[in-house]
Amino acid sequence: MTAAAQTIAVGSDESTPLTDAVIAELGRRGYALTLYGALCQGDARWPVVAREVGEAVARGAAGQGVLFCWTGTGVSIAANKVHGVRAALCADAETARGARMWNDANVLCLSLRKTESEAAKEILEAWLATGVDAGETANIALVQNADTADVVRGRIGA
């Protein structure tokens, strides 16, 4: 596995006990981390943090990303604006497993408000242990390669 694949980009608009716990867990698992936003005294506005993490993943500087904001929704929306990012807001381990298996999600988004540290460990375990279901590669490609106008007009996959 390449060094970039072993690197996870982690960003948040706040530094909290949850962000600290996730960073510690990823470090314990041997991942190299690149920190963004409030986690490294960078620009902590959530749209900026999400873009920076998304760009790191999209350009291959990191194999995956983890993002936090109060609800997790904002960073998920913002990260998904970066071509090549498939960000998923996950509140439990099964959602994380499905996001990886069926969507090849590459950026995990977590809510600072609703995610407890123990649940975050379970979510990370599922996220990191799950690969893509080979039967979903065609669907993933449709999403990845779709032009926004084609999706809106209902021509996806046509």
* Residues annotated catalytic, as ranges: 69
Report the alpha-carbon distance of residue 106 to residue 87 in Å, rounded.
6
Which residues have C-beta within 8 Å of that of residue 110, sequence separation ≥ 6?
18, 22, 66, 67, 68, 72, 89, 90, 120, 123
> Other CB atoms closer than 10 Å to residue 41's CB: what's the count?
9
List, in sequence order, the alpha helices (H) in the chain: 17-28, 46-58, 73-79, 93-103, 117-129, 137-145, 148-152
Contact predicate 108/66, CB 8 Å: yes
Write down the residue that tokens 């749209």 correspond to.
47
Name every residue whose Cβ is closer than 8 Å to that of residue 137 and which is 6 or more positions away in sequence: none
Amino acid at residue number 42: G
